[in-house]
Amino acid sequence: MKINNKTVFITGATSGIGLETAKLLLEERANVVIYSISIPKNPEINTLKKQKNILIIKGDIRNKKSVKSALKKTTKKFGKIDVLINNASIAQRKDFEKTTQKDWDAMIDINIKGTLNVTQIILKQMLRPQIQSPMIINISSGAGYEGIEHLSLYSLTKSAIMNFTHSLSDELSNKKIDILTVAPGSTDTQMFKEVFPGQKPHHTPKQVAQVIIKTIKKEILPDERRIIDVFHHAK
């Protein structure tokens, strides 16, 4: 699939993998919408704001009204959304026996419910007949495969995202929409540094972003479970 002139909506894309993906998409002449709960004031974001084919919206993936507002702003500027990338998530390193109801709610509300919320709202417009070859990419993790000690809640949510993707893909198999998961290994993001202090990641955000771009172009195809896994996973 050609990316130029396609509109790509990315959640949580003001840093890390999401930001690098947005930058590569702009190089491919795509229209890019960054939807994030916070918009940092830094030179990189300020530079992006100056480009005509980008829209940066502050909002919460858990809030239906906020997501619907973002969809309205996007369609007003670009007409439609061709590709949705559910990238926003949080992680926490903690012994499970010490986790609290508050920890559970935060992880599930953002990583699972937030993804469901954005997907359901944007999917409705992506299924309109005039949208050609729509695609949804859910960003999971190697933790969704194996489960990682002290990351029980995060592993739980990322496994759920994989299974949600597979189920929804089967459910909409006659709708001509691609729904798949990209499952990166350890990546040099701020989240990784906070969760694994002192450890060396296997990938850079740009390397993961390049896989996402190739996935959109269908240069990399998913396995039978609708998962793109070309990364090295290690505990």
**Per-residue pLDDT for the chain (235 aa), expressed as one digit of tens each?**
789 899 999 999 999 999 999 999 999 999 999 999 999 988 899 999 989 999 999 999 999 999 999 999 999 999 999 999 999 999 999 999 999 999 999 999 999 999 999 999 999 999 988 788 999 999 999 989 888 999 999 999 999 999 999 999 999 999 999 999 999 999 989 998 988 898 999 999 999 999 999 999 999 999 999 999 988 664 4
Specify burial of residue 235 (Cβ count, 10 A radius: 0-12, 13-18, 19+).
Answer: exposed
Active site residue 154: yes
Amino acid found at 144: G
Tracing tokens 């359901």 back to the chain, one arrives at 120
Ramachandran region, residue 203 (left: φ > 0; alpha: ψ -120 to 50; beta: rest): beta
Rounded to whole angstroms, how far apart are CA atoms 229 and 184? 7
Catalytic residue among 9, 154, 192, 231: 154
Q: Are 138 and 165 in contact (CB under 8 A)?
A: yes
Q: What is the Cα–Cα distance from 82 to 27, expressed in whole angstroms?
A: 17
